[in-house]
Structure 1
Amino acid sequence: MKIIILAGGNGTRLFPLSCDRKPKQFLKIDTKMSLLAETINRFREIVAPEDIIIVTGNKYVNMIEKELATYNMGSIHIISEPMRRNTAPAIGLAVKYCREILRCSEDEVLFVSTSDHIIRPKDLFNRAVLKAVEFAARGKFVTFGVQPNKPETGFGYIEVGNDLNGAYITKAFKEKPDAVTAEKYLLSGRFYWNSGMFAFTCGTYLKELFQYAPKIARLLKTDYAQVVKNFVDMPDISVDYAVAEKSRIGVTIPLSLYWSDVGSWDSVYDVLNKDENGNVIKGNAVTINCKNNLFFSKKYVIAGIDINDTIIVENENVILVSKRGETQKVKKIVEKIRDNKYNYK
């Protein structure tokens, strides 16, 4: 088995803490380790370092090398995309690397992981990974579905079908729902949050690409060096849209544990420990009569009086202030900042 960690994202959902120079996977949220380092550490009990491959962009290679050295994580492979082309081509590049450079067979199982999620406990997660490996080795296209505990509108969902003794037939992928639909999904018991993690063999992924994303498949038929050279011609498409939503051999492994994609400041608030007033304080903050807030400062002191249910984040000469529950709009505010050419970096 090989672990493929996708670490090329440059998202701004945790702006102003995350940015193009330091995306979310390099941030320290709830431990002293970065989210990327936590991800790697999660797999070290089931695979050797040389069985882990990190896929990233050229500009993040040095940062990842420093991370690996800082935490003494061994001889992990790093491969870089010449440019971002979303997850389906990124996984294809990793498959090509495994087949040609690492001499993996078509039957080698690949477990594809995100690099910036919080998952615990580790032992329960790893047992689920090994269950996914079993189904992948039988030629299935496996995904992880997280057991929902609320009607979340910020995630895509997976609808499951018949029980397969520890897994389910994947029936359908659903886009992020509205609140009413999310409530129906939760009550039905047949829907799971889409975790963005997958397992399959090298051969299975290539066969599915040939059937559902033939342009990617054709570009992968040359040698590895040529694939890298022609990567610019890859379509910009996620593995979900390219293959997972269309596959007829899909299997979903349910995850009943703590999982967060840390995809907004609201989710950061949910993850972190609160004081007796429900406040999360990271950095320097002084408060009077404040309840259920997140105060996150990197340099300056945040002083709050009579503030409730608010997110306040200070970093890099920017102060973000938002109502809790509204931080999914951060991308829009970043776009406005860029449109007005504010220099916050």
Structure 2
Amino acid sequence: MVVPVVMAGGSGTRLWPLSRQLFPKQFHALTGESTLLQETLARLGGLETGAPIVICNEDQRFLAAEQLRLVGVEDARILLEPFGRNTAPAIALAANIATADGDDPILLVLAADHSIQDVDRFHEALKRAEPLAEQGKLVTFGVVPQQPETGYGYIKRGGQMGAGFIIERFEEKPDLATAESYVSSGQYLWNSGMFMFRASRYLSELKTFNPTVAEICEQAVKKVVPDMQFVRIDASVFSKCPDISVDYAVMEKTADAVTVPLDAGWSDIGSWSSLWASQAHDSAGNAFRGDVLAASSRNNLARSDSRLLALVGVENLIVVETKDAVLVAHKDKVQDVKKIVEQLKRAGRSEHLSHRQVYRPWGHYDSIDVGERDQVKRITVKPGAKLSVQMHHHRAEHWIVVKGTAKVYRGKETMILTENQSTYIGLGEIHALENPGKIPLELIEVQSGSYLGEDDIVRFEDLYGRS
């Protein structure tokens, strides 16, 4: 049995302003109509696999669950990392979970933020790798390079072993001249960060070369707390785990590392320029998404989320618009986008953390306007969903229904509101909001008070385990 392990953590800072800490790139539709996470799971269709294990952090759990639900993946276990500790511990947690009931499956470890254009060739590579994994080998998929690339690590292949090659050594991201020599030699592959190995074999090698990581991860899953489809580990134990990648922890040390070549149109979508390269272009080499117009402009990527973008007489630019930020960058400098994210963090701003539109398990809200003592939100509640029973110490709220039906709990009172009706929630008043209807509920919320932060919520009851 092959069990997919999909690593869906990470913040994707190089794809700011679309990718944010609380809504990173794997949860966005970058290359098509589905998100990268959904595409990762969809390309497993037609293969005989067990229920996937999806790894993400606590803040993204409902986002991941909703995206899985939308594509009909209902049997996945969502493993929640209380802290990011890189890929070696994440895979170890999944391996311990997968073997907890006495099974010992082969794990197919995938990143949720990769793009693969040729699914048939991807499946062929998986089938070539499986016999090697069954023999106890630790397989990584090495991408056949299409051009010199300084943004990827490389694998030098040695002698052939079955359908793969013994790994002679791993190489860090090279400079351009070194990358050119790697590609011209024909002996190097890009390191994709995708793996296949038996769960017990990985844990054994991890214990040999990094016993501390192995022991901490084993102990962390002994106190697993199930919560709906979520799996929570012991945070106090896991907090002591070193931060280390699977390459450093195991793959560069084991004598059983092999690589299977993959030539399937792979990209890790690690920057705006790599996204441009993976997109379909118009006759001028432009890749546009959203409401974009252009004149006398060539080789640009432009993406608009909420308004018209117009490009005139420009070349080789990245222009990305969201509701609260606009990025303009030269394609040759996109690796420096993360420097803007660092500036935002140092300034104590929020644009690196979340979008203006924030997703919750019950729906989402859009912060339309924010003042010193007032804030206006457009709130959308999914049919059948209910917000927590809560109160606020520092703010009052006015609710105006603009679409659908609202069931409002205010103190001991329950009321039904429909379009154009409103209500007032006083300071300190216990309240809740529910959508009892069949269509999304939309309302405008006007907050006023001395403090308007999201942490001014005292929850008494919650369907989603947040009270």
**TM-score normalised over the length of structure 1:** 0.95
Letter in structure 2 aligned against 1:195:
S
Aligned partners of 2:214, 2:294: CA distance in 1, in Å? 57
- In the alignment, does 2:247 pair up with 1:240? yes
CA offset digits 1:160-201 (Å, max 9, x no partner): 100224210011111000001000000110110000011111
Aligned partners of 2:168, 2:307: CA distance in 1, in Å? 50
Report the secondary structure of 2:4's partner residue: strand
Query: Following TM superposition, by how much is the alpha carbon of 1:236 offset from its aligned partner in structure 2, in angstroms?
Result: 0.8
Query: Following TM superposition, by how much is the alpha carbon of 1:36 offset from its aligned partner in structure 2, in angstroms?
Result: 0.3
Q: 1:331 aligns with which of 327, 334, 338?
A: 338
Backbone CA RMSD of aligned residues: 1.5
Partner of 1:52: 52
Letter in structure 2 aligned against 1:89:
P
Q: What percentage of aligned pairs have identical amino acids? A: 38
After TM superposition, the structure 1 stretch with the greater mean CA deviation from structure 2, 66-75 or 138-147, is: 66-75
Please identify runs of 4+ aligned residues in structure 1 that moved more than 6 A: none
CA offset digits 1:125-181 (Å, max 9, x no partner): 012112211101101111000000111000000111002242100111110000010
Letter in structure 1 aligned against 2:340:
I
Query: Following TM superposition, by how much is the alpha carbon of 1:223 offset from its aligned partner in structure 2, in angstroms?
Result: 7.1
Query: What is the 5 A alignment of 1:139-218?
Result: 139-218=136-215
Query: Following TM superposition, by how much is the alpha carbon of 1:343 offset from its aligned partner in structure 2, in angstroms?
Result: 4.0
Aligned partners of 1:34, 1:315: CA distance in 2, in Å? 17
**Structure number with bigger Rg:** 2
Structure of greater relative contact order (alpha carbons < 8 Å, 6+ residues apart): 1
- In the alignment, does 2:116 pair up with 1:103? no
CA offset digits 1:17-55 (Å, max 9, x no partner): 00012111101012111100000011132134x531111
Aligned partners of 1:342, 1:73: CA distance in 2, in Å? 36
Aligned partners of 2:313, 2:280: CA distance in 1, in Å? 21
Report the secondary structure of 1:262's partner residue: coil
Question: How many residues are matched?
Answer: 341
Please identify which structure carries the higher helix content: 1
Query: Following TM superposition, by how much is the alpha carbon of 1:268 offset from its aligned partner in structure 2, in angstroms?
Result: 0.9
Query: Following TM superposition, by how much is the alpha carbon of 1:338 offset from its aligned partner in structure 2, in angstroms?
Result: 2.1
Partner of 2:327: 320
Letter in structure 1 aligned against 2:311:
G
Aligned partners of 1:280, 1:219: CA distance in 2, in Å? 46
Query: What is the 5 A alignment of 1:128-147?
Result: 128-147=125-144
Letter in structure 2 aligned against 1:5:
V
Residue 111 of structure 1 contacts residue 133 of structure 1 at CA under 8 Å; is this kept in 2?
no
Partner of 1:231: 238
Query: Following TM superposition, by how much is the alpha carbon of 1:124 offset from its aligned partner in structure 2, in angstroms?
Result: 1.3
Partner of 2:391: none
Query: Following TM superposition, by how much is the alpha carbon of 1:232 offset from its aligned partner in structure 2, in angstroms?
Result: 0.9
Aligned partners of 2:22, 2:199: CA distance in 1, in Å? 32
After TM superposition, the structure 1 stretch with the greater mean CA deviation from structure 2, 121-130 or 171-180, is: 121-130
Residue 16 of structure 1 contacts residue 316 of structure 1 at CA under 8 Å; is this kept in 2?
no
Query: What is the 5 A alignment of 1:267-306?
Result: 267-306=274-313
Report the secondary structure of 1:94's partner residue: helix
Query: Following TM superposition, by how much is the alpha carbon of 1:247 offset from its aligned partner in structure 2, in angstroms?
Result: 1.4
Residue 156 of structure 1 contacts residue 174 of structure 1 at CA under 8 Å; is this kept in 2?
yes
Residue 285 of structure 1 contacts residue 303 of structure 1 at CA under 8 Å; is this kept in 2?
yes
Aligned partners of 1:339, 1:19: CA distance in 2, in Å? 16
Which runs of 5 or more structure 1 residues have no equivalent in the other structure?
A: none
